[in-house]
Amino acid sequence: MRKKLQDKMFEASYIFELIVSLIVGIAIFIFALRMIADLASFSVFFEGTGALTGVLDNAIVLAIGAELIKMMCKHTPETVIEVIAFALARQLIVGHAKPLENLITVIAIAALFAVRRFLLNRHDMVETPDGLVEVESDEKCGD
């Protein structure tokens, strides 16, 4: 009885994650259309470098959203690292941080890539509604 209840709860949470992913995907699509419409008006090109910063910020936020959807649909350590790397890259590129904060961000991104390259195997376990599934390949994620 307990195992069946746990399985049902896991399946329900998995379906809920997919629904949230769908909602986020719809929002990303709408905001991407809005960004394209803003660029099509050409007025953004005459506002100076502040407008470029805004475009970059919007584009990176959309990319983070897309990575978040991947992370919610495919439960692997690699997708989590990619989301964190995009979020750190956004802070580095668009944020106006102090030099020490930028250095810490660069070190954090380098650490993420090192973890991805040397510590993660494609042999890791992946959660599915049917339980844990082992990924077939022994390749490193960075290869």
> Is 142 a residue whose pLDDT tops 60?
no
Q: Tell me which residue of 79, 86, 57 sits closest to 127, measured CA to CA.
A: 79
| Average pLDDT of the segment spanning 111-115 | 91
Cβ atoms < 10 Å from Cβ of 24:
15
User: Chain-wide mean pLDDT for the chain?
Assistant: 82
According to the model, what pLDDT value does residue 52 have? 79
Q: 65 in a domain, yes or no?
A: yes
> pLDDT of 45-69, one tens digit each?
777 777 778 888 889 899 999 989 9
Looking at the chain, the whole-number percentage of residues with pLDDT higher than 70 is 84
Q: 129 in a domain, yes or no?
A: yes
Q: Give me the domain span that covers residue 100.
A: 2-134
> Is 123 a residue whose pLDDT tops 90?
no
According to the model, what pLDDT value does residue 29 have? 96
Q: 141 in a domain, yes or no?
A: no
Count of domains observed in the chain: 1
Q: 16 in a domain, yes or no?
A: yes
Amino acid making up residue 47: E
Check: CB of residue 39 under 8 Å from CB of residue 55.
yes
